[in-house]
């Protein structure tokens, strides 16, 4: 079971990021979320949603959604670096199990752009 994204349904409200940030930090912020709204190409109207899991990153690009293994999506390549640590700043999605809740990003999304599968 994991959180997936229907990127074309997303309207970029960032409620998923906010709910995830609340789950981790008990405050309203988007700096720690496992769910990340990509909105860095505003002038092109381009946006997507990413979900970090322990093993991969689900990337919901408007041109297609796919899960990519960590390391694969990076240009660096796939060998060596065995001692590199996963990032501290952003936790991997735990489906909100640590809070005993249903995944809050899915529950909060007004457009049903996030779903469990």
Least distance to another protein from the beta carbon of 33, Å?
11
Does 77 help bind another protein (rule: CB under 8 A)? Answer: yes
Contacts of 23 (CB under 8 A, 6+ apart): 96, 99, 101, 104
Alpha-carbon distance values, 5 to 61, 79, 100, 109, 115 (Å): 9, 29, 22, 11, 6
> Which residues in the 6-35 window bind another protein by CB under 8 A?
8, 11-15, 18-19, 21-22, 24-29, 31-32
Neighbours of 52 (CB within 10 A): 21
Interface contacts to another protein, rule CB under 8 A: 8, 11-15, 18-19, 21-22, 24-29, 31-32, 36, 38-47, 50, 54-56, 61-63, 69-92, 94, 97, 104, 107-108, 110-112
């Amino acid at each position: 079971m994991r959180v997936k994204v229907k990127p074309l349904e997303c309207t970029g409200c960032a409620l998923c990021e906010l709910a995830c940030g609340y789950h981790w930090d008990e405050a309203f912020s988007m700096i720690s979320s496992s769910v990340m709204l990509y909105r860095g190409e505003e002038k092109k109207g381009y946006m997507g949603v990413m979900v970090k899991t322990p093993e991969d990153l689900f990337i919901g690009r408007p041109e297609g959604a796919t899960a990519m293994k960590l390391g694969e999506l990076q240009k660096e390549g796939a060998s060596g670096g065995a001692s590199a640590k996963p990032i501290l700043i952003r936790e991997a999605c735990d489906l909100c199990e640590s809070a005993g809740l249903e995944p809050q990003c899915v529950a909060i999304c007004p457009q049903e752009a996030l779903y469990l599968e």
